[in-house]
Amino acid sequence: MLHDGFKTDKLVIFLLFFMLPFWLLLLPVVVLYLQAVGTKEWREFGRTEVIDNTRNPDFVRKFVLDFFFEEKQNLRFDVYNVDSRSCNISKHDFLGQTFCTLGEIIGSTGGRLERTLSGIPGKKCGVIIFAAEELSNCRDIATMQLCANKLDKKDFFGKSDPFLVFYRSNEDGTFTICHKTEVIKNTLNPVWQPFTIPVRALCNGDYDRTVKVDVYDWDRDGSHDFIGEFTTSYRELSRGQNQFNVYEVLNPKKKGKKKKYINSGTVSSPTSTSICNPSQPTSLHYMSPYQMNAYAMALKAVGEIIQDYDSDKLFPAYGFGAKLPPDGKISHAFPLGGDGDNPNCVGIEGVLEAYFQSLRTVQLYGPTNFAPVINKVANCAAEITDGSQYFVLLMITDGVISDMVQTKEAVVNAASLPLSIIIVGVGPAEFDAMEELDGDEVRVSSRGRLAERDIVQFVPFRDYIDRSGNQVLSMARLAKDVLAEIPDQLLSFMKSRGIEPRPALSSSPLPELHRHI
């Protein structure tokens, strides 16, 4: 806007407030007042958020002001300790105040001004730091969702209570907080709610400016535990529909002390969610003309290796969790090809073709039930237990399992059959329950019965996505890990049944791997 012939600039003021320890617990808030030019009256402009239990708050909420070079713009900052739910600021404990002009902040070195708080006789009230930066004209709004996997455990009696803190980089190389996520309690694999943030608040419209993200474990007393950090940019966070950005969370202190330290977990930024229509780019099932979606990548990665061990190359392929035409009946085990009498697809390409065709004809629908498909394949495996055939069931899902009790029962029953189950989780969902099915640590049990063998391998696909976007490398990593246990699982079944390898020169056919999808 124009004012007396001078163009105004939009400025954002960031606050860092360092408090001296004369209160044990603080819930600080800063109130900004502007002084009217004519009446000299102080009018409240805005307040920061309240931060729990800290004497060194770093406020997320900023003040955006119009700057007039030709005017003296007087500012007053009052600091309070919030001790009730009252909106009346006078009802709270006064901690100190300071005065300055907007020009002083802008004219300070690096746009950063430090002032001592005063206002309580005989007390040192602490220090407040201001930083200001001119806002760009960028009006873009970013919407993003993040999830983490295998974060470090910080709580003695639980896992961790993770949250993320985003920092924008300043022109002087420092960082200023710009967003905090909510806290997700007692998990090492959190999925945070989607959030929106103005791009100019995240990076001032510079898509390549560094964005730093810290990962913390929340503590009630405000002494949050640092898990690790990573850096990115808005361009990187928003790149490419239907891609995953996976970042290693690194803790510099742990990295310096432990030679075998790899990371403190990963954070991924899926730009898509599966609840949308598959024809939309925001769906995990989106059929892009330029690249495969995560489902297709998992199918192709595993299928192209294991199909070499199947003589007829016919793969039964089923979908689960959809409304089927023409009456919209919900099914949790339907042939992808649409032929109820013949679920077989010819080769991995036939499976992919059936998958894409089904997306055009069925309506994706919850809940996510595993047991029906496992039982269907187990029934096939139960018919051939002489060692001539071995079955591998690949299940790909983006949802949290809804029938865990029934699925555990199905797995326990299937463990005595020539069958292995591979589960690949795609997307940002919370997959903690899947770990219970993967019996590497504790064997799956149901109604007091332990599974005879460990037959389930679960992996979240986000752990294998190559950060540079190389799909071939991502698929190779996935296939190597999920297929590594199959030979031992096959041998464990054969040994449990006393089935000996056939002589090398025998004309009898070798045991055949049958793959179900």
Q: Domain with 157 in it: what CATH number? A: 2.60.40.150
Same domain, residue pair 316 and 368: yes
Q: Tokens 């995953």 identify what position?
A: 244
Does residue 443 share a domain with residue 316? yes
Name which of 331, 418, 346, 340 is nearest 379 in CA terms: 418
* pLDDT score, position 6: 35
Domain count, the chain: 3
Let me know whether 300 and 261 are in one domain: no
In a domain, 462, yes or no: yes
Phi-psi region of 448 (alpha: psi -120 to 50; beta: other; left: phi over 0): left
**Contacts of 254 by beta carbon, 8 Å cutoff, 6+ apart:** 228, 261, 264
Q: Residue 277: its pLDDT value, please?
A: 62
Same domain, yes or no, for 391 and 486? yes
| Among candidate residues 130, 164, 199, the one where a domain is terminated | 130
pLDDT at 109: 81
Spatial separation of the C-alpha atoms in residues 189 and 327, rounded to whole Å: 38
Asked whether the beta carbons of 76 and 97 are under 8 A apart, the reply is yes
CATH code, domain with 441:
3.40.50
Structural domain contains residue 6: no
d(CA 349, CA 460): 23
Query: Which residues, 6 or more positions from 19, have their beta carbon under 8 angstroms from its beta carbon?
Result: 26, 28, 54, 55, 56, 57, 95, 125, 126
Residue 417 within any structural domain of the chain: yes
Give yes or no: residues 322 and 179 share one domain. Answer: no
Instruction: Dig out the tokens for 383 from the structure.
Output: 């018919």
pLDDT value for 45:
92
**Would residue 329 count as lying in a domain?**
yes
Amino acid at 343: P
Question: Do residue 115 and residue 251 come from a single domain?
Answer: no
- 346 falls within a domain: yes
- Burial class from Cβ neighbours inside 10 Å (0-12, 13-18, 19+) for residue 424 reads buried
Cβ–Cβ < 8 Å for 104, 130: no
Q: Which tokens sit at 434?
A: 């899947």
Look up residue 309 and give its DSSP letter: G
Q: Whole-angstrom Cα distance, residue 313 to residue 303?
A: 10
Instruction: Name the stretches of the chain with pLDDT < 70.
Output: 1-25, 137-139, 239-245, 270-277, 279-282, 366, 399-400, 428-430, 467-468, 504-517
Tell me how far CA of residue 132 lies from CA of 31, 179, 280, 510, in angstroms. 17, 17, 40, 73
Among 225, 250, 268, identify where a domain stops. Answer: 268
| Range(s) of the domain holding residue 395 | 294-497
451 torsion bin: left (phi>0), alpha (psi -120 to 50), beta (else):
beta
pLDDT at 78: 95
Strand partners for 47: 31
Strands of 225-233's sheet, edge to edge? 175-180, 162-169, 210-217, 225-233
CB environment 21-41: b (16+ within 10 A), e (fewer) = eeeeebbbbbbbbbbeeeeee
Q: Are residues 252 and 337 in the same domain?
A: no
Please indicate, yes or no, whether residues 196 and 64 belong to a single structural domain of this protein. no
Q: Within 13 Å and on the Cβ side, how many CA atoms surround 425?
A: 23
Residues 62/56, Cβ–Cβ less than 8 Å: no
> Do 463 and 318 lie in a common domain?
yes
For residue 2, being part of any structural domain is answered with: no
Task: Examine the domain organization and report whether 191 and 111 are in the same domain.
Answer: no
Instruction: Tell me, yes or no, whether 5 lies in a domain.
Output: no
1 in a domain, yes or no?
no
Are residue 223 and residue 343 in the same domain, yes or no? no
Q: Does residue 164 sit in the same domain as residue 102?
A: no
Q: Does pTM top 0.75 for this prediction?
A: no
Cβ(215)–Cβ(164) below 8 Å: yes
pLDDT at 276: 47
* pLDDT score at 514: 56
Of 107, 130, 153, the last residue of a domain is 130
Q: Give buried/exposed letters for 223-259 (b at 16+ CB in 10 A, else e).
A: ebebbbbbebbbebbbeeebbbbbbebbbeebeeeee
